[in-house]
Amino acid sequence: MKILIIAGTGSGCALETASVMAEELTSLGHEVHVKNATDSPSPEGYGAVFAGSGVRAGKWHKSLRSWMKQHAPALRGKPLAVFTLCLMMRDPEKHAKEILEISDGVLRKLDLTPVSTGLFPGWYFAERFGLLERLILKMMKTPRGDFRDLDAIRTWTRDTAGRIVPTGS
């Protein structure tokens, strides 16, 4: 199956995570294209779409929200998986519900229902964030580093692929 993975990103975390997902999907025999939402690729011609973003100020990146709004009719006709990366997911028991609401809010407005939703910690490398974001993260005493669990991302991707293309198809 031909799969589009589209990412809204500021620091590059969502795009790099999309590449990890692409490696997993490719190993399962899929043709995968990873695109930045700012490039506004069409979802036409893809059998499924994985769409994800990092979180800024409690929202997905504007580029992904805009892309999904523009392509919502096409997305309704194919399997859609969504993923969100957020530093707050370092403590999923405390923050999963509010982080899930970020993607769910976008999906409700667009009448989209994903086959799967992934929530993952992101990263914080100060040089990849704007001045205001760095100041806020410093005040919050956010530790620096890559907090992504790549094994969990690969597992979610593999499980989601199984929901999109059942084994034996």
162: left (phi over 0), alpha (psi -120 to 50) or beta: alpha
pTM (two decimals): 0.85
pLDDT in tens, 107-136: 999 999 999 999 998 866 677 667 677 676
Domain with residue 9: its CATH number is: 3.40.50.360
| Domain assignment present for 169 | no
The residues near 53 (Cβ < 8 Å, ≥ 6 apart) are: 7, 8, 9, 14, 37, 60, 61, 64, 65, 84, 85
Would you give the distance in Å from CA 80 to the centre of its chain? 11
Domain count along the chain: 1
Question: In terms of residue numbers, what domain contains 10?
Answer: 2-164
pLDDT in tens, 4-59: 999 998 777 899 999 999 999 999 999 999 999 999 999 999 999 999 998 877 88
| Domain assignment present for 159 | yes
